[in-house]
Amino acid sequence: MSLSENIRKFRIEKNMTQEQLANLLGVSSQAVSKWETSETYPDGSLLVLLANTLDVSLDRLFGNEKVYKPDVATSMIRLVRREKYENTFELVRNLCWNIEKGLFGSSVGESYESSAPTNNESYILNDYGFTNISNGDAPYFSVFPEPECGWKKTIGDGEDMRKIFECLSSPETMKAVLFIHSKEAYYFFEDAHLARECSIPDEKMPDVLGSLLSLKLIAKFDVDIDGQTVSLYKTFPSHRMIALLLFAKNLKYVGNYSFQADNRSQKPFLI
């Protein structure tokens, strides 16, 4: 589209009249009218202000579809930095949704607000990796670029991962894990307190504490109090554990998908 067509298009999208736009720019409504009919063009000194007023970049204003990675990266950083801090994670996730649209092959010309996620999930899978998006009450966005050799080198024989799942397979340990993550970081407790709060039988406590230590969710400290050695445990709640639990919950998802593309060949995940 031409500059004149874009000025009109973006003005209408902003629900502005020609007079309102003119007042913001300090020009006459007749000047804006002439811009939109290609009779005249905005003065060069007004272009940045015009683009900012219409909430578009100069590239979009002029219909330049050429995209350069450094410019995109700089724009994304500036966009996130100017957002209210409490809104930044949701902003980033919306930006990620536009990346998902690009991977899927959909139009990416819309602003991120107009592509806000629904409650549907999304994934894209091909020979170069996959994405996985969860919405609803536990939203996240993840992307896994695939190494040329697959993920086998990282996963190995799976024994390290199996030990993690073995720990979490215990109902008592899972109760303790949830208890730890319901407390602030560096919370101290005695084993009797944990047993009482989580209704864990005494005979199960050694295994539970051993599992928590193995998962690095707690550390043990022996403290001398009046000549007696008392064992205290300090908590280290982990965002990685929360991520693991959320991802595990998503394994059983059977709902609808906003974007779903499986273009992977017969290439194994573990080569």
Per-residue model confidence as pLDDT tens digits over 126-163: 999 999 999 878 889 999 999 988 899 999 999 999 99
Confidence of residue 116 (pLDDT cuts 50, 70, 90): low
Residues of the chain with CATH 1.10.260.40: 3-62
Q: Is 1 a residue whose pLDDT tops 80?
A: no
CA distances, 261 to each of 98, 102, 140, 253 (Å): 15, 12, 18, 16
Q: Assign domain 3-62 to its CATH superfamily.
A: lambda repressor-like DNA-binding domains (1.10.260.40)
Confidence of residue 220 (pLDDT cuts 50, 70, 90): very high
Q: What is the 3-state secondary structure (H, E, C) of the chain?
A: CCHHHHHHHHHHHCCCCHHHHHHHHCCCHHHHHHHHCCCCCCCHHHHHHHHHHCCCCHHHHHCCCCCCHHHHHHHHHHHHHHCCHHHHHHHHHHHHHHHHHHHHCCCCCCCHHHHCCCCCEEEEEECCEEEEEECCCCCEEEEEECCCCECHHHHCCCHHHHHHHHHHCCHHHHHHHHHHCCCCCCCEECHHHHHHHHCCCHHHHHHHHHHHHHCCCEEEEEEEECCEEEEEEEECCCHHHHHHHHHHHHCCCCCCEEEEEECCCCCCCEC
By C-alpha distance, which of 265, 266, 260 is closest to 104? 260
Q: Mention the CATH class of domain 159-241.
A: mainly alpha
By C-alpha distance, which of 126, 76, 79 is closest to 105? 126
Query: In the prediction, which pLDDT does 193 show?
Result: 96
Gap between the Cα atoms of 154 and 151, Å rounded: 6
Query: In the prediction, which pLDDT does 162 show?
Result: 96
Query: In the prediction, which pLDDT does 21 show?
Result: 93
Per-residue model confidence as pLDDT tens digits over 152-193: 999 999 999 999 999 999 999 999 999 999 999 999 999 999
Gap between the Cα atoms of 119 and 133, Å rounded: 10
Residue 220 makes CB contacts below 8 A (sequence gap 6+) with 209, 213, 231, 232, 233
Confidence of residue 204 (pLDDT cuts 50, 70, 90): very high
Buried b (16+ CB within 10 A) or exposed e, 153-168: eeeeeeeeeeeeeebb
Residues of the chain with CATH 1.10.10.10: 159-241
